[in-house]
Amino acid sequence: MALVKAAVVVLDCAEPHKLAHFYRQLLDGELSGDASADLVEVRSADGVRIAFRRDGNATPPSWPRPESTLQAHLVLLVEDLDEAERRVVDLGGLPIETRDPAGPYEERGYADPAGHSFTLRLSLPPED
């Protein structure tokens, strides 16, 4: 029996409830924690869990600038890149990597409203 049952990615930010609202809408999930909470979590129907912790000194990551390193990065699997991109931008996300990436995946890079980077990656249907 596995000791660890699940994992939660926690992103530091100045306004956890505001950032959780962005991801709640993007993932069509449920929010746990109120506006004054220092830790707010979003859970999607598919079991994705992301939490947001208040850090009064939080500064946005500077990736993808060449002098910076990638501290953490979310990859969100989607069935339609164009539709997902429209949703991200409508919710306040920003495209940060618009060129077609080299490699085996179709993906696009974005920043959430607090500046954390994430990738939308095309999820191919399973082969029968």
Do the domains at 1-58 and 60-128 have one common CATH topology? Answer: yes
Q: Which residue has the higher pLDDT, 16 or 101?
A: 16
Mean pLDDT for 13-41 is: 90
In eight-state DSSP terms, residue 66 is T
Q: Looking at the whole model, is its pTM more than 0.85?
A: no
Looking at CATH, the fold of the domain delimited by 60-128 is given as: 2,3-Dihydroxybiphenyl 1,2-Dioxygenase; domain 1 (3.10.180)
Question: Cis before residue 16, ω within 30 degrees of 0?
Answer: no
Residue 37 has a pLDDT of 83
Mean pLDDT for 82-102 is: 85
Percent of the chain with pLDDT over 70: 79
Alpha-carbon distance of 53 to 45, in angstroms, equals 22
At residue 11, the 3 state secondary structure works out as: strand
Q: Which distant-in-sequence residues (6+ apart) come within 8 Å of 83 by Cβ?
A: none
Instruction: Give me the architecture of the 1-58 domain, per CATH.
Output: Roll (3.10)
Mean pLDDT for 59-85 is: 76
Contact between 97 and 111 under an 8 Å Cβ cutoff? The reply is no
Give burial (CB, 10 Å; 0-12/13-18/19+) of 40: buried
Q: What is the DSSP string of 81-121?
A: HHHHHHHHHHTT-EEEE-SPPSSSS-EEEEE-TTS-EEEEE
Domain range annotation of the chain: 1-58, 60-128
Lowest mean pLDDT among 21-25, 34-38, 87-91, 98-102: 98-102
CA-angle at 126, arms to 125 and 128, nearest 5°: 120
